[in-house]
Amino acid sequence: MVKPFFRRHGSEVVMSQPSTRTPSRSSLRPREDHSLPQRIARSAAVTDAGLLSISGFLSWFAGRGEANRFKVERVRLDGLDGWSFEEPTGNVVHRSGRFFAVEGLHVSVGPEPRREWHQPIIKQAEVGILGILVKEFDGVLYCLMQAKMEPGNPNLLQLSPTVQATYSNYTRVHGGSPVRYLDYFVDTSRSRVLADVLQSEHGAWFYRKSNRNMIVETDEDVPLDENFCWLTFGQIRSLLGFDNLVNMDSRTVLSCAPAGHPHRSGALHSDLELLSWFTAERSRHDVRSERVGLAGLPGWASDGGVIERTDGRYFRVVGVSVEASNREVTRWSQPLIEPVAQGVAAFVAQRIYGVPHVLVHARVESGFVDTVELAPTVQCVPENYASAEQRPRFLDLVLSPDPERVRYSAVHSEEGGRFLNAESRYMIVETGPDEVPLSPPPGYFWVTAEQLTSLVRHGHYLNVQARTLLACLNGMDWHATDSGAR
């Protein structure tokens, strides 16, 4: 017997019978588009002969900086327009009740002996959209990218996705102009979805924050705004070699693109072994995060101007006043998190039986939705560690590597809409078999880029720093050298 189900008709709920018609074989679709990785690979192969050369892009990008007016000034938190310290919590909140708030967090992490600390953290419940629109020209996929100013970027203007907007922004809570090209992402009947996944934001500074990472394709004519340009996947990957050019939001979306590596096969561990290890890592960590007020937060102090640790370590919360002539709103002010020094995010890499692998770390961060995500081998701010005994594993290996073993190195800034001058040196350092064993310490695991690409199709497996390095890995030529092969 076929059971009825309920459906809504206007304001009424009515009972319907499900269809008993058997779909014909012609109505079924392939579960995956196997041509997509090849199409992206063709675009990745076009590095300097596209609609716009790299030199042409750099000239255009410099021109966008000159054509627009940007200004960022530090101001006291208690002088921010539209923001205030909430009573009695002391949290920093916006008068609209939207956008985000800076609150306190009490964190306890096990197993025993438990670690415990307090910190400020950004609470932003909204899910934003980070989206790249792609279109085929003469058989090659191009990405529509934006020259966008963010107040926290050290150089202000960086290369952003087509759409980079919080829910409050694209619903125009600020009263500003509409977000360009947004319709391709909120109405996917106009486009073809190539990637669509919820990914985490910085777990150390955001409380359970996710954004929707999307890549959609259109065959429509797309009017080109003066602050946007078309680039191939290969050109964007080339630009990842420049310091502070491709912003964090672009990097995380690029990591979600299906990437084909036809010359690679096999891995030290099967996908099932990887998932089992990762599940065990999530199971063994007991993370308790409790939101508390900023007022009287242990170890932190504020005079109304900034919020900072009493020992000066880790980060501080500061205020800025902003002007940007090409944003939806041209003037605003806001709080930002500012780290005390530059960070390091590095994959230790190794060829294992001829196949390139990287060493991932199952990392606990206070703001993660699910306690643990896969992170780079090393992810830290070295200045935060007073003694050698406190330094993370493998830090010395990536801080002073043999230059011939450095496969990738560039400084990238983190999310410039919430963090001020937050930069990390991103690296991929290839090691020999005697430096890091096939059986690494607990919490570490050898994986291939293909395995990471498979995992990133799902949310909350790779943290944002690992996704940046995956975007770089997918653009590397691993067959240029055989050093470190087993």
Alpha carbons 104 and 297: distance in angstroms, whole number: 7
Query: Could you count the other beta carbons within 10 Å of the beta carbon of residue 44?
Result: 23
Which pair of tokens denotes residue 466?
């690992």
pLDDT computed for residue 118 by the predictor: 98
Q: In 3D, which of 101, 100, 98 has the Cα closest to residue 85? A: 101
pLDDT computed for residue 432 by the predictor: 87
Higher-confidence residue of 65 and 112: namely 65
SS3 category, 232: strand
DSSP 462: B
Alpha carbons 345 and 378: distance in angstroms, whole number: 5
Place of tokens 């980060």: 315
pLDDT computed for residue 23 by the predictor: 59
Q: Where is average pLDDT lowest: 173-182, 359-368, 403-412?
A: 173-182
Which of 122-126, 167-171, 427-431 has the highest average model confidence (pLDDT)? 427-431
Section 449-455 average pLDDT: 96
pLDDT computed for residue 32 by the predictor: 87
Crossing angle (nearest 10°) for helices 248-255 and 464-473: 70
- Give residues with Cβ within 8 angstroms of 261, minimum separation 6: 449, 450
pLDDT band for 9, please (50, 70, 90 cuts).
very low
Section 37-50 average pLDDT: 92
Beta bridge partners of 118: 106
Beta bridge partners of 135: 142
Alpha carbons 471 and 422: distance in angstroms, whole number: 19
pLDDT band for 27, please (50, 70, 90 cuts).
confident
pLDDT band for 260, please (50, 70, 90 cuts).
low
Q: In 3D, which of 179, 157, 223 has the Cα closest to residue 329? A: 179
Rg of the chain, C-alpha, whole Å: 23
Percent over 90 (pLDDT), the chain? 78
Alpha carbons 120 and 291: distance in angstroms, whole number: 9
pLDDT computed for residue 329 by the predictor: 86
pLDDT computed for residue 1 by the predictor: 47
Alpha carbons 205 and 420: distance in angstroms, whole number: 12
- Give residues with Cβ within 8 angstroms of 311, minimum separation 6: 299
Section 470-476 average pLDDT: 91
Section 445-450 average pLDDT: 96
pLDDT computed for residue 480 by the predictor: 42
Mean pLDDT of the chain: 91
Alpha carbons 347 and 467: distance in angstroms, whole number: 11
First-to-final CA distance of the chain: 61
Q: Is the pLDDT of residue 82 over 70?
A: yes
Chain segment 139-162, per-residue pLDDT in tens: 999 999 999 999 999 999 999 999
Chain segment 188-237, per-residue pLDDT in tens: 888 899 999 999 999 999 999 999 999 999 999 999 999 999 999 999 99
Q: Tell me the pTM.
A: 0.91
- Give residues with Cβ within 8 angstroms of 442, minimum separation 6: none
Where on the phi/psi map is residue 64: left (φ > 0), alpha (ψ -120 to 50), or beta? Answer: alpha
Q: Which long-range contacts (CB under 8 A, 24 or more apart) does 260-264 make?
A: 260/37, 260/38, 260/40, 260/41, 261/449, 261/450, 262/41, 263/479, 264/355, 264/356, 264/448, 264/449, 264/450, 264/478
401, 376 contact by CB (below 8 A) = no
Angle value at C-alpha 450, between 437 and 413, nearest 5 degrees: 85
Structural domains for the chain:
271-288+341-474 (3.90.79.40)
> For 149-285, where are the alpha helices, taking DSSP H only?
167-170, 183-186, 233-239, 248-255, 271-284
Q: In 3D, which of 428, 352, 355 has the Cα closest to residue 394? A: 428
pLDDT computed for residue 481 by the predictor: 43
Which pair of tokens denotes residue 177?
């102009």
Chain segment 284-312, per-residue pLDDT in tens: 999 999 999 999 999 999 999 999 999 99
Angle value at C-alpha 241, between 236 and 244, nearest 5 degrees: 90
